[in-house]
Structure 1
Amino acid sequence: MCHSSARWRLPCRHSCFPVPGSSGCLPWYRVRFRPLRVCAAPSITGRAIPQQRSGPLPPTILITRPEPGAGSFIAALRGLPGGDLPVVLSPVLRIEPQGELPDLEGVRWLIFTSQQGVFRYAELTARRDIPVYAVGDTTASAAEAAGMRAISCGGDARDLLARIRADNAIGPMLHLRGAHAAADVAGALRAEGIAATDAVLYVQKRLSLTEEARACLNGDAPVIAPVFSPRSAAALLEGAAPRAPLVILAISRAAADRVPQGAASACIVADRPDAAGMLRAWPAALAEAYRLEGTKSAQ
């Protein structure tokens, strides 16, 4: 027999087994063994087991606008229903300086069709005495923040030209713009007998989507993608075939027209081509995204 204070130990040299709660051992022939219970291994069929979802997947907001516009738009969305949805930031355009400011001698009016033009002008000169025609409220606000007196034309290039015409404004006028312009504003003014020239102060370079953005477009959750220009709409879907239900929120009909046929499940166009119009159209885009997810879940 073995004598030890250990509760469990290996059999001793006499082939005894320890007895729980005792200092002694039993010979092997007095130990009662329970039969071993063997469980059958699960069969493998090679078929994936579908995962159950508790409800519709929430949409993701894909922001392709460069800063500083991206941050201000996201902040504005946060105050709206659904504005707290996940956000993926992947600018498709990068603003880079290009060109120099021409001589401002004799210029009666400056024309800006984007806030980027305002920012670049403010970097190049300290002059703030020339009044401004701005294409929309956002651009006008940027000009006023820089210290200039601005008139907002509240729309697109056609609205801007109509306002200049209605005001009987006198040139010379100088349109400060990017390398890729949606309309030839200076040319249209000259056609109406108004002295006008233009100058390029920046260029928009295309950027590739981030890995996170590509994964978003190829996922299962709906995606809401606000696009703020025809060029950004084209850059977003260049060579892409999204698998996710995609809702485009376009700033204008011109931007919506640059979305390839069949690339988006739905397209919502703002009632006015500015950030305020985009925010007003947000509820419709959000509702469409949830409608698409509901239809997809029911299939």
Structure 2
Amino acid sequence: MPVTILITRPEPEAGRFAARLHAMCGPEVDVLCAPVMRIELCGELPPLAGGEVLIFTSRHGVAGFCHQTTTRDFTCYAVGEATAQAARAQGLTPITCGGDAAALLDRIAKDGTTGPFLHLRGAHVAADLTGALQAAGHDATDAVVYDQQAQDMGEAARRVLAGEGPVILPLMSPRSARLVFSQTDHIHAPLFVAAISRNTAQAVPDGTAQDLSIAERPDAEAMAHAVHDLVKKAKRLEGRKRAQ
């Protein structure tokens, strides 16, 4: 049975990630995009005085902010390189951090930046950056500029999970993990999960995955390599089955 990579990220990230994995894993691996969320820009920015230090933890935060204002003359921090690239494309000049909330907070502390901080975020977040900054004595607020609306991943994805062939499942957040497993009650396929973080891995129900690995870094490049490694493991499993 062919190995299938099941991508549940929102579009357009799902398509970009699928193209990267096609290039890495080759044409003999099937890639199915079945998003469990869609992104909708929403909310309103607070009045901007011009001295705010912006914090972006996703491309969507950049998009949501730039959709509402043409002002670009801000100091800003981007959690990782993909978010920083999105900010540069919009005319912002971001300071790139190490890929997760802890690294971002550490960079702010090392730089001695005092704010006031404004975190442009989604309706659902994995880490309370604003609370952490406030706890450190900073003036910090946040603004919801997009929502991650849940959506059904579709019958094609459920058929793959109920099938015989190995499935590689990259999971980019604890919420996406919860949504995936809430939408299927029968996983028969040998399941290999690549989680972007330990928190995401903990959202995978016990006993569901035959193999669960955590990416070396919380970014798309490290996730792609984790998926590639799992594809090789799944192929070895299939090879042993055919040899019996």
Provide the TM-score with structure 1 as the length reference. 0.77
Higher mean C-alpha displacement, 235-244 vs 252-261: 235-244
Instruction: Tell me, yes or no, if structure 1 residue 108 matches structure 2 residue 52.
Output: yes
- Pick one of 16, 25, 46 that aligns with 1:81: 25
> Which residues of structure 2 form unaligned runs of 5+?
none
State the 1:83 CA deviation: 6.0
Instruction: Tell me, yes or no, if structure 1 residue 61 matches structure 2 residue 12.
Output: no
Match in the other structure for 2:209: 264
State the 1:296 CA deviation: 4.5
Question: Which amino acid in the other structure matches residue 145 of structure 2?
Answer: L
Counting aligned pairs with the same residue, the percent is: 51
State the 1:146 CA deviation: 1.1
1:24-35 mapped onto 2 (5 Å cutoff): none
- Pick one of 62, 67, 84 that aligns with 1:118: 62
Per-residue deviation, residues 104-153 of structure 1 (Å, max 9, x unmatched): 11433100111111111111111111121111111111111111001111
Shift in alpha-carbon separation, 1:272–1:83, aligned structure 2, 3 A: farther
Question: Which amino acid in the other structure matches residue 156 of structure 2?
Answer: E
Instruction: Tell me, yes or no, if structure 1 residue 183 matches structure 2 residue 136.
Output: no
Shift in alpha-carbon separation, 1:298–1:112, aligned structure 2, 3 A: same
- Pick one of 165, 189, 206 that aligns with 1:244: 189
- Pick one of 226, 233, 243 that aligns with 1:281: 226
State the 1:174 CA deviation: 0.2
In angstroms, what is the RMSD of aligned CA positions?
A: 1.6
- SS of 2:230's equivalent in the other structure is helix
Distance (whole Å) between structure 2 residues aligned to residue 99 and residue 284 of structure 1: 40
Report which of the two structures shows the higher radius of gyration computed on alpha carbons: 1
Give aligned pairs, total.
243
Distance (whole Å) between structure 2 residues aligned to residue 76 and residue 62 of structure 1: 13
Shift in alpha-carbon separation, 1:83–1:128, aligned structure 2, 3 A: farther
Distance (whole Å) between structure 2 residues aligned to residue 72 and residue 138 of structure 1: 12
- SS of 1:94's equivalent in the other structure is strand
- Pick one of 164, 172, 175 that aligns with 1:231: 175
**In the alignment, is the contact (CA less than 8 A) between 2:50 and 2:73 conserved in 1?**
no
> Which residues of structure 1 form unaligned runs of 5+?
1-56
- SS of 2:24's equivalent in the other structure is coil
